[in-house]
Amino acid sequence: MVPIDPGGTMSTEHPQHPQHPPHPQRPEPSQRPDAYPAAPAAGPGPVEVRDRRPTPWLALVSTATAAALVASVATAGLTGAFAPEQSPSQATTTATLEQQESQTVPVAGSAAGQPDWQAVAAAVRESVVAIDVRTGSGSGEGSGVVVDAEGHVLTNDHVVGDAVDDGLRVTLADGRVFEATLVGADPTTDLAVVALVDPPTDLVPAVLGDSDALEVGAGVMAVGNPLGLDSTVTTGIVSALDRPVTTASDSADEPVVTNAIQIDAAINPGNSGGPLFDASGEVVGITSSIASLSSGGSGSSTGSIGLGFAIPVNLADRVAAELLEDGTASHAFLGVTLGDGTATSDGTTRLGAVVGEVTPGSPADEAGLAPEDVVVAIDGDAVSGAESLTAYVREHTAGEQVSLTVVRQGETRDLTAVLAARDEVTAENSGSQEGGRSGSGSEGVVPGDPWDPFDRG
């Protein structure tokens, strides 16, 4: 474990793992994966994440995907021999895809006002799995949650996205070990689905809840595999909702931007991809990153300091359904470059996302957005900056209509945009956005953009 340096400063570096020799030959499925010993987290090198201020986010990366450690600090945990060097329809859900019958809450006697965490832990334990991963640069570990009886497990892309062939193993709570294959991964949202090979008939799928119903102050429980300690349970509260968090990923052309659930439950490297439960035992999020401190000169980083982040389950559910359907996920597209700023209207100054460029023919163009407009709300939700608007857009699907509250030259106006699939626009306007990088999402924070007050390169 990496100790906290009382005199340290906030850092964007991933926790570093000590080097280990190559793992011995894998044990038989009937054995526990002792060939993958627990170890402190590791990561590729300095990465930058910002929540309007230069706050370092430690991606909860379980080192599974050494090369794709999330920058928040991804909560996957590297344990391998080679640590990387520095360097238009209604959304489908897994429930509708699998045609599951309606399920009751796992623990009816536990509620937000009076949670029974012992009962919740007992009820959900069998739905949470530990994931061991081999990549081209080493190995690592993470967490996941069983979403159906067919053996599909939801986790983070940065945990499994870089796995080599035959490089995935899933360990159930009772110690049974299964080989697994990657069904699909989505680097844009940092989500992935894997499938157990020859799954058992007694799997216990988790019940997915409604992250939109969460409230600040509500109790939550994280369950996962931090530092190889499987079935670890921690509790806390929802500290904030719609917290814009940006994490870097080597497997995506752009950063992962999420309006995350902020929690104070302790999560550490290896928790990545694990479920976040509410007081009734329903999954409300997928833990993915943490903010952490590091000592100035050594480059080492601490673990949990009570600033953890989870991907809302409503987003995870939709993306998982698309991955189960055809292995890929689509993303809504607005078509603007953005920076952080403020706008004043009717004597009131508000934070917002400043429009830099508008892609011709994009939904933003059709809606009438123009350079220097400041978007201060979307569908009535306040927009605090570029990351916030980007995350809100990515929560939608192509074809959905959104209402944008915009301040232009001191006047507030409402514009309506019909979001499109990114490829539909970029295919016609290749090279017209973000400095000519075709295929990248315009509604993101653009490094070096004149509207961006921070250096995010």
Angle CA 14–19–22, to nearest 5: 125
Domain co-membership, 232 together with 250: yes
Domain co-membership, 35 together with 76: yes
Query: CA-to-CA distance for 221 and 235, rounded, in angstroms?
Result: 4
**CATH code of the domain covering residue 416:** 2.30.42.10
pLDDT at 204 (0 to 100)? 96
Query: CA-to-CA distance for 287 and 274, rounded, in angstroms?
Result: 6
Nearest CA to 381 out of 396, 398, 366, 369 is that of 396
Domain co-membership, 374 together with 265: no
Domain co-membership, 279 together with 368: no
Query: CA-to-CA distance for 419 and 424, rounded, in angstroms?
Result: 11
Query: CA-to-CA distance for 388 and 428, rounded, in angstroms?
Result: 27
Domain co-membership, 61 together with 18: yes
23 an active-site residue? no
Domain co-membership, 225 together with 263: yes
pLDDT at 107 (0 to 100)? 87
Residues 6+ apart with CB under 8 A from 455: 447, 448
Domain co-membership, 290 together with 345: no
Q: Which amino acid is at 412?
A: T
Domain co-membership, 407 together with 322: no
Is 108 part of any domain?
no
What average pLDDT score do residues 187-208 get? 96
Given the residues 20, 158, 331, 396, the one annotated as active site: 158
Domain co-membership, 322 together with 363: no
Give me the number of domains the chain comprises: 2
Residue 439: pLDDT band with limits 50, 70, 90: very low
Domain co-membership, 235 together with 362: no
What is residue 190's three-state secondary structure?
Answer: coil
Tens digit of each residue's pLDDT (9 = 90 or more) over 87-101: 333 444 555 444 344
Given the residues 157, 162, 190, 449, the one annotated as active site: 190
User: Residue 407 pLDDT > 70, yes or no?
Assistant: yes
Q: Which H or E run contains 70?
A: none
Tokens of 374: 């400041």
Angle CA 271–63–164, to nearest 5: 120
Domain co-membership, 408 together with 317: no
The region that residue 99 occupies, defined by phi over 0 for left and psi between -120 and 50 for alpha, beta otherwise, is: left
Higher pLDDT, 199 or 77: 199
User: Residue 10 pLDDT > 90, yes or no?
Assistant: no
Is 194 part of any domain?
yes
158 an active-site residue? yes
Domain co-membership, 188 together with 278: yes
Is 452 part of any domain?
no
Is 1 part of any domain?
no
Neighbouring CB atoms inside 10 A of 304's CB total 24
Query: CA-to-CA distance for 394 and 43, rounded, in angstroms?
Result: 26
Last residue of a domain, one of 299, 326, 353: 326
What average pLDDT score do residues 280-298 get? 82
Given the residues 272, 280, 301, 330, the one annotated as active site: 272
Last residue of a domain, one of 271, 304, 326: 326
Global pTM value: 0.74
**CATH code of the domain covering residue 172:** 2.40.10.120
Domain assignment of residue 139, given as a range: 9-85+114-326
Is 451 part of any domain?
no
Is 90 part of any domain?
no
Nearest CA to 94 out of 364, 351, 253, 319 is that of 319
Residue 109: pLDDT band with limits 50, 70, 90: confident
**Residue for token pair 């921690």:** 234
Is 175 part of any domain?
yes
The pLDDT mean for the chain works out to 76
In this structure, the dihedral spanned by the alpha carbons of residues 399, 401, 405 and 407, taken in order and rounded to 10 degrees, is 40
190 an active-site residue? yes
Higher pLDDT, 92 or 162: 162
Strand partners, 50: none
Is 454 part of any domain?
no
